[in-house]
Structure 1
Amino acid sequence: MESAANEPRVIVIGGGIVGLCVAWHLARRGLRPLVLEAWRAHAAYTGNAGAISHGSVAPLAMPGVLRQVPKMLTDREGALHIPARYWLKAMPWLLRFVASARPAQVEAAAGAMASLLFGALERHREILAAEGALDLIREQGQLYVYRSAEQMAKDEPALALRRRHGQRMEVLDRAALAALEPEIAPAYQAGLFLPDHGSSVNPARFARVVAEGVRRMGGEIREAEVRAITTEGRRVIGVATDAGDLPADRVVLAAGAWSARLLAPLGIRVPLETQRGYHVMLPDAGVRLSRVVSPYDRKVFITPMEEGLRVAGTVEFGGLDAPPNEARALLLLKDLRQVFPHARTEGFTTWMGHRPCLPDSLPVMGPVKAWKGLWCAFGHGHLGLTGAAPTGALVAAAMAGEKPNFDFAPFAAERF
């Protein structure tokens, strides 16, 4: 589809996987988007766990989360840690997080997330099929493992939410678990198999493939540091970058954890926090694994990828500017050995990235009411890869005037 020469320009701020998927769907509609990406080593899309988890509808803040706060503040090796230097900065976000754990809000958030993630794997296939890269998806399901049936029962509130929203699950005893993944340590006696889930074998290559599709369909991707969204009256007219001003009829803000900084000058405050995540990449772990494995007690994802075995997880608050904490990354090796005691760790590399997280676990998506021409697509938290393809399809369709059967209201920036 070709756009007219005078087609108003759409600028997408952010070349992460969410911004690229929005741009891909815009380009497919002939809108020729310009994607502006400030290269960042810590962009979340390059180092995520690769999981595509459309059933992950339970928000991070579940009823009873208040009891976990002291551990978050004091346990250096906990799955979620807030260092003392960051307590004061994190406290407003943490208070909102705890407040969002009320049962009614949890149910509402789960329903909204289910509406967004419905058909996520199909949306990923849609893009990759068009780009001739279906080999990027592994469709072998995902496996959650537990040390006992009693430990699995502790996960029941989140599992019940998933079931209510149509998630298919198979409960496994030790024999069935070992039949599926023989090398899992015998300490894990129970499992939950999610056959409809999948994963990406290389999230960074995934992003490159989507970017190539954007260019193929007439879009442009340019490296630039966006310093401000420019306005006139109550409408957006472009962006100011380190290379000068660029005009635009519409702007999509998809800058991940950096998005709040660009909204604040427009009078829009969103409680966006970076939950710094880590991974270790093992080029030759000596572990035969067919799918994503996630141990409940370790809160990590162990994913077979093209370049080796990736162990991703942990949550650390620390802001956008602090350097990576190598000790947090090394905890992942301990997590791996709990599940696969004989894994080889020679030659491992570490990585840290910024997950853009909001207290209610819902991203900010859709048009901004106060500013004509401004759209948002950020804040997907731990589900950036999963949510990228459906977000791209929905936002681009709405921008093109197609009126998708989707309610953007629960995701509005104004909800805060």
Structure 2
Amino acid sequence: MESASNEPRIVVVGGGIVGLCVAWYLAQRGLRPLVLEARKPHAAYPGNAGAISHGSVAPLAMPGVLRQVPKMLTDPAGALHIPARYWLKAMPWLLRFVASARTAKVEAAADALASLLFGALERHKEILAAEGALDLIREEGQLYLYRDEAQMAKDAASLDLRRRHGLRMEVLDRAALAALEPEVSPAYTRAVLLPDHGSCVNPARLAEVVAHGVRRMGGEVREAEVRSIRMEGRRATGVRTDAGDVPADIVVLAAGAWSARLLAPLGVKVPLETQRGYHVTLPDAGVKAGRVLSPADRKVFITPMEDGLRVAGSVEFAGLDAPPNEARARLLLDDLRAVFPHVRTEGGTTWMGHRPCLPDSVPVLGPLKTWDGIWCAFGHGHLGLTGSAPTGAVMAAAIAGEKPNFDFAPFSAERFA
């Protein structure tokens, strides 16, 4: 990577959507970053549900989550499953997860997420307008589906938290729901419409568009697997890859679920766990959805995509190295049939990806305190697509010395020490 003498050499480790958005905003400032992408076969960015949800400030660990842990450990068909062979490895993370469900921690996490995700859709549109690809964004809102008032009441705490952070929502009865989504099963009699949320109709193409923009503005995207961060004293001087050493003045770690492995040799221990998510995309489903749908009893997202109807969800703890579990993917078809009883499920393609999840649902962002020249941008969990563009904006501004109006303290890697 060539670099003018007055600009830092910046290497972004990770070419998923978060790393690419950081690089895009750096390139916009003329800083010409180099993105190193290992082409991991199960990175999360191409296969997510496509939801862009700035109001999703409620962390996964809400009060009462402890009651759900036994089912996580024992029900192989549950929305969140941990196989027996992984119980011992997952337990430290689960203990932190349960501890994060205390009211004060939930409120703090929601405040942090709200500060990051505010304006997420506008940030995505800012990138895509510059790249001539606004067709990737659908602005039809999102719809949460409930079978009855009692089921909706179980979500009251989460909905209230979102409402208090400014999310606009409309409660619909069955008639109003049917007017928006006539093919949804009559078993769902209530819904909550989030009219300001949006979605991406092709997350894989989104990543390609952002990467093209990085190159267009003088940056580079190169395939290489980073093995370690190279240090001299307390300062990063580059990275070691499978293709040789790459010098850098600043290393931005945006390697998703693989990020903690690169920090561990530096003594920075982050409780990053992969929550393996699945999707099935049906090219000819025979039913139509006008927007992202999420049935509360199924914990999945159903999204109209360019290449068909996608149902995504399921959470599985099994580590970074275990092969995909096709049975988990097949469960998604039952979830889809519950919402669309007449859906055609033939000819679907399946996918599994690693979501980088932290116990408090708050990503790690900003510079390390104990090492110079290392910035972090990982751990967005289920909100990687949503958080990618706003993360890129605040990170690039801070790296460029612009002092953005953003507090990185709640996102510190050292908060877990």
TM above 0.5, yes or no, is yes
- State the number of aligned residues: 415
Report whether the alignment pairs 1:64 with 2:64: yes
Partner of 2:277: 277
Give identity over the alignment, percent.
82
Contact kept in structure 2, 1:57 and 1:110, CA below 8 Å: yes
Calculate the TM-score normalised by the size of structure 1. Answer: 0.99
Report whether the alignment pairs 1:235 with 2:235: yes
SS at match of 1:337: helix
Letter in 1 for 2:214: V
- 5+ long unaligned stretches in structure 2: none
Deviation readout 1:202-222 (Å, 9 max, x if unpaired): 000000000000000000000
Report whether the alignment pairs 1:351 with 2:351: yes
Post-superposition offset of 1:4: 3.3
Report whether the alignment pairs 1:189 with 2:189: yes
Post-superposition offset of 1:3: 7.2
Post-superposition offset of 1:40: 1.4
Q: Equivalents in 1 of 2:402, 2:7: separation in Å?
A: 17
Q: Equivalents in 1 of 2:118, 2:3: separation in Å?
A: 30
Q: Equivalents in 2 of 1:227, 1:292: separation in Å?
A: 38
Contact kept in structure 2, 1:3 and 1:30, CA below 8 Å: no
Post-superposition offset of 1:6: 5.0
Matches within 5 A, 1:10-21: 10-21=10-21
Post-superposition offset of 1:288: 1.4
Report whether the alignment pairs 1:262 with 2:262: yes
Contact kept in structure 1, 2:25 and 2:393, CA below 8 Å: yes
Partner of 2:383: 383
Q: Equivalents in 1 of 2:409, 2:34: separation in Å?
A: 27
SS at match of 1:8: coil
Deviation readout 1:41-82 (Å, 9 max, x if unpaired): 211001000000000000000001000000000011110011
Letter in 1 for 2:388: A
Q: Equivalents in 2 of 1:203, 1:265: separation in Å?
A: 33
Matches within 5 A, 1:223-372: 223-372=223-372
Partner of 1:141: 141
Partner of 1:124: 124
Contact kept in structure 2, 1:13 and 1:35, CA below 8 Å: yes
Q: Equivalents in 1 of 2:96, 2:391: separation in Å?
A: 24
Contact kept in structure 2, 1:142 and 1:193, CA below 8 Å: yes
Q: Equivalents in 2 of 1:8, 1:49: separation in Å?
A: 36
Q: Equivalents in 2 of 1:115, 1:221: separation in Å?
A: 29
Q: Equivalents in 2 of 1:229, 1:310: separation in Å?
A: 37
Post-superposition offset of 1:346: 1.1
Contact kept in structure 2, 1:227 and 1:241, CA below 8 Å: yes
SS at match of 1:275: strand
Q: Equivalents in 2 of 1:156, 1:353: separation in Å?
A: 30
Q: Equivalents in 1 of 2:61, 2:116: separation in Å?
A: 18
Post-superposition offset of 1:289: 1.3
Letter in 1 for 2:372: K
- 5+ long unaligned stretches in structure 1: none
Q: Equivalents in 2 of 1:4, 1:130: separation in Å?
A: 25
Matches within 5 A, 1:66-105: 66-105=66-105
Post-superposition offset of 1:7: 2.4
Root mean square deviation of aligned Cα? 0.9
SS at match of 2:176: helix
Contact kept in structure 1, 2:3 and 2:9, CA below 8 Å: no
Letter in 1 for 2:146: Y
Partner of 1:175: 175
